[in-house]
Amino acid sequence: MKGELQTHITDLERELIAFFVNAAQAIGLPKSYGEIYGLFFASEQPLALDDVIERLQISKGSASQGIRFLKSINALNTIYLQGDRRDHYKAETSLRRIADGLLKERIAPQLQDGMERLKSLKSQYRSEDLKPVKERIKNIEAWSKKADLLLPLVTNFLGPKPSKSASKTVKSI
């Protein structure tokens, strides 16, 4: 029946979820993030937190944390369903938008933190104390500069950024 949400995982959904679990783990994300995104990706209907908990049989904390992370990297869009006060979400299917969010929210801050730690290290030690690792520190600085140049190229390579308004949907029950 249209509008009614199934509670079990179909074979097709299971395969899509497995695909995204592997993808998440390949980039160092928790398995649950892949499961959650895979479920949203496989679903035609927007899902709420309760739906994720029930269908994946995971804890509320794990589901909530996963949804929060996926929203932060633009992998989930909030959907308004008239007459339902719960937040609902749909998967973002633009690789460009997700990759952009992942780079800005996860990778760039880690690189920035690493450079701050390196600056701190250099200021704490005398030049002669750093002599044994001076070349390696220069390598790290060069890698960081290359990453700063590479990250925008990666997002541009993935295509034009979809408009934000195109990913927001209002749906009546």
Domain ranges of the chain: 11-93+167-171, 95-162
Amino acid at 10: T
Residue 52, pLDDT score: 97
Whose CA is closest to 41, among 62, 72, 18? 18
Neighbours of 55 (CB within 10 A): 22
Angle in degrees, CA 136, 109, 77, rounded to 5: 145
Average pLDDT for residues 39-54, to the nearest whole number?
97
pLDDT at residue 173 greater than cutoff 80: no
pLDDT at residue 10 greater than cutoff 90: yes
**CATH (one of 3.40.50.1000, 1.10.10.10, 2.40.30.10, 2.60.40.3140) for 11-93+167-171:** 1.10.10.10
The DSSP letter of residue 161 is P
- Give 56-60 contacts, CB < 8 A, sequence gap 24+: 56/9, 56/32, 58/32
Average pLDDT for residues 140-155, to the nearest whole number?
83
CA distance 92 to 78: 10
CA distance 42 to 24: 16
pLDDT tier at 6, thresholds 50, 70, 90: low
**Beta-ladder partners of 86:** none
Contact 116, 124 (CB under 8 A): no
Upper half-sphere CA count for residue 39 (Cβ side, 13 Å): 28
Kindly report, residue by residue over 90-147, the tens digit of the pLDDT.
Answer: 999 998 899 889 888 888 888 889 889 888 888 887 888 888 888 888 888 888 888 8
Neighbours of 150 (CB within 10 A): 12
